[in-house]
Amino acid sequence: MDMSQAMTLTAKYNNNSVRQYVQQVALFSQALLFSQETMDVFFNIKLLSSETNQQVIIVVISLVTIVVAYFKFRIFPLLDKKLPPGSLGLPLIGESISFIRAHINDRTPDWIRKHVNDYGPVFKTSLMGSNVVVLTGQAGNRFIFSGRDNGIEINQVRTAAAILGKHSIFELPGPRHKLVRGAIVSFLKPESIQRFVSSMDSLVHQELLQGLNGRDTVKMVGLIKKITFNVSFSLLFRVQEDKEKDDLFQDFLVAIKGLWTVPLKFPGTAYSKALQARGRISRLLSELIKERKKEMEEGRKGSSDQNDVISSLLMLRDENGDPLMEEEIIDDLISVMIASHDTTSSLV
């Protein structure tokens, strides 16, 4: 082998060695990079797992606290009392879900009948966040409505009380209830209603034309409910603007849906929407009350077309000669409108 061949072989060897060395360095660098990325991912997973575990622990502790508080303040105090048979269902929720499902499907009598078969004509349950005792049959009705000396006070479930208001006619004690009821009933007596017959006929005719105009088919139940609401609102409150009545009608529908719901005040729930609708209704009624007060102060209250339920309640005085507060009047007006809607729905 001469010198030139030796140098060529040496160069090839050196080139191969350098190439192999470079490849090894590259592989080693990639291995280091891969190891670094792997470690980063590993530590991120560990950190994420730690945060997730903390959240899970917080949720578990919160749930346990709620359950313990529920049993301590809602269940254990009942153990020493002599209560009828029945089931309180799940904590907080009770039997509300099954009751609402039956109510939506118009099977409430079946729901009650099942409980009567299981526990008897008097049973306890939990609905809408409240523990209740249900009495059925003629004997139960006679006991409830026989008088106010039987130890039973009128008290709506939490959701209904919040939407109707604490001064609702359904929540008032004996003397106050009799006072407000007398004012409302006096306005709705046959001799008082007679003066509205022609107006009612005109309003019903107008509402029917609007509801049937240009339509091949109409859902009569919904149409009748809307007509009844508009006629009642026009006559009871003297509001003629269609846009105002339509907006109020939609708010009343939302409020009525929240009467029998689980009292969860979270955005998007039926109860939360119902409370918001009640707020809008209250603001509108407050404006109407201010208008009636102004009319009465100006001496126009004696006109026959100025009389309505709002004016009757504004002129009402209790045993001390004090007028009703605005909040009381608003609660009573909302109760009257919801009661008229429910009565119509049941009749239809």
For residue range 208-266, what is the model confidence (pLDDT) as tens digits?
887 777 777 777 777 787 788 877 777 777 776 666 777 888 898 899 888 877 778 88
- 165-179, 206-220, 313-327, 334-348: least confidently modelled range: 334-348
Under the banding of pLDDT at 50, 70 and 90, the label for residue 149 is low
Which one-letter amino acid corresponds to residue 267? P
In angstroms, the CA 20 to CA 18 distance is: 5
- Three-class DSSP category at 135: strand
Write out the H or E segment, with its range, that includes residue 125. strand 122-127
The pLDDT assigned to 153 comes to: 64
Tokens representing 234 are: 């026009």
Percent of the chain with pLDDT over 90: 9
Mean pLDDT of the chain: 73
In angstroms, the CA 168 to CA 186 distance is: 18
DSSP state of 130: E
pTM: 0.62
- Three-class DSSP category at 267: coil
Under the banding of pLDDT at 50, 70 and 90, the label for residue 201 is confident
* 269, pLDDT greater than 50: yes
* 90, pLDDT greater than 90: no
The pLDDT assigned to 145 comes to: 64
**64 or 102: which carries more pLDDT confidence?**
102
- 12-16, 60-64, 182-186, 323-327: least confidently modelled range: 12-16
Under the banding of pLDDT at 50, 70 and 90, the label for residue 312 is confident
Contact 124, 131 (CB under 8 A): yes
Neighbours of 316 (CB within 10 A): 19
* 120, pLDDT greater than 50: yes
Tell me the CA distances in angstroms from 133 to 127, 130, 138, 204, 237, one per residue in order: 10, 10, 16, 42, 37
First CA to last CA across the chain, in angstroms?
117
Tokens representing 160 are: 């209904």
- Three-class DSSP category at 15: helix
Closest Cα to residue 161, out of 172, 174, 147? 172
Contact 308, 238 (CB under 8 A): yes
**61 or 71: which carries more pLDDT confidence?**
61
Contact 331, 168 (CB under 8 A): yes
The pLDDT assigned to 54 comes to: 66
Q: Does domain 164-347 have CATH number 1.10.1660.10?
A: no
- 172-176, 219-223, 234-238, 299-303: least confidently modelled range: 299-303
The pLDDT assigned to 147 comes to: 55
The pLDDT assigned to 41 comes to: 45
* 34, pLDDT greater than 90: no
- φ/ψ of 113, rounded to 5, equals -60, -40
* 144, pLDDT greater than 50: yes
* 31, pLDDT greater than 50: no
Mean pLDDT along residues 185-211? 78
Under the banding of pLDDT at 50, 70 and 90, the label for residue 6 is very low
Contact 312, 333 (CB under 8 A): no
The pLDDT assigned to 283 comes to: 93
Bridge pairing between strands 130-135 and 122-127: antiparallel
The pLDDT assigned to 72 comes to: 57
Mean pLDDT along residues 327-339? 88
Mean pLDDT along residues 183-190? 77
The pLDDT assigned to 302 comes to: 47
Contact 93, 128 (CB under 8 A): no
